Amino acid sequence: MSAAGGELLRLQQVMHRLRRECPWDAKQTHRSLVTYLVEETGEVVDAIETGDDADLREELGDLLLQVYFHAEIADQEGRFTLDDVAAGIADKLVARHPYVFGADEVPEDPTRTWEARKRLEKGRTSALDGIADSLSVLARATKVASRTRNHHVPIDLPDDPVTAEEVGEGILELVLRAHAQGIDADQAGREALRALEARVRAAEASSEESSAESSE
C-alpha cells in the first residue's frame, strides 16, 4: 500500500479507537457534528483564499476527519461503511464520465451533460430538485441560476456584463443600505429567491404542458 493509502487507513483506525475510548467522540451523532462540518468547510475556504499550503493541508485534514467521523458512526450502527462511501463516489464519477472511462466522445458542454445524467439517475422532475435548503442565500441563488441555465428552462435571467469587483461592491453596498433602513438583507434575499424559484417551476410546468399538447 502506498504511503498515502497507509495514512488513510491509520486515520480510520484512529477514528475507530476514538469512538470507543474518548467519551466526547463516543457520544457524537450525525446531527451534533453538523456545526463542525460547516465550520471546517468554511475554514477550508479561508485557507484557499487567504492561506498557504500548510494552512490548506491542515484544514483539508480537519474536513477529511468529518467524513471519517460520519462514516464511522454509520458503520457502528450497521448502515454503511467508509468503503461504501468511497465506492459510491468512485462509481458515480465513472458513470458520469463515459468519455473518460468509456468510448463516448467528449461532450461540447460537459456541465450540461453532467446535470442531465444526474437528473436522469435521480429521477428529478425540476431543475431545482436537489438544491440544499441549508445553503446561504447567495450560494443557493448561484445554484438556482446555474441549474436554470444548464437545464435550458425557458425563463429570462439577467446576463449584462459585470466584473467580480462590481459584484462584490454591489452586494456589499446593498447590504449596508439595507442595514441603514432596518431591512434584513438575508431575509429579503431569501424572499426574492423564492419568487425566482416559483417562476422557474412555473416556466417548467408551462413548457411541459406545451410539449404534451404538441405531441397529441
- Give residue-wise pLDDT tens across range 38-51: 999 999 999 999 99
Residues 138 and 66 in one domain: no
Query: For residue 70, what is its C-alpha cell?
Result: 460520519
Q: Establish if 121 belongs to a structural domain.
A: no
Residues 11 and 86 in one domain: yes
Question: How many C-beta atoms surround the C-beta of residue 204 within 10 A?
Answer: 19
Residues 78 and 157 in one domain: no
Q: Would the pTM of this model clear 0.85, i.e. be above it?
A: no
What are 23-37's pLDDT values in tens digits? 999 999 999 999 999
The C-alpha R_g of the chain, in whole angstroms, comes to 22
Q: Establish if 167 belongs to a structural domain.
A: yes
Number of independent structural domains in the chain = 2
Q: Establish if 105 belongs to a structural domain.
A: no
The residue segments making up the domain with residue 41 are 3-95
Q: Establish if 116 belongs to a structural domain.
A: no
Query: For residue 22, what is its C-alpha cell?
Result: 474518548
Q: How far is residue 159 CA from its own chain's centroid?
A: 23
Question: Which alpha helices (H) appear in the chain, and where do they start and end?
Answer: 3-21, 23-26, 34-50, 53-76, 82-95, 98-101, 110-122, 137-150, 164-180, 185-215
Residues 16 and 62 in one domain: yes
Residues 136 and 204 in one domain: yes
Residues 89 and 144 in one domain: no
Query: Average pLDDT, whole number, for the chain?
Result: 91
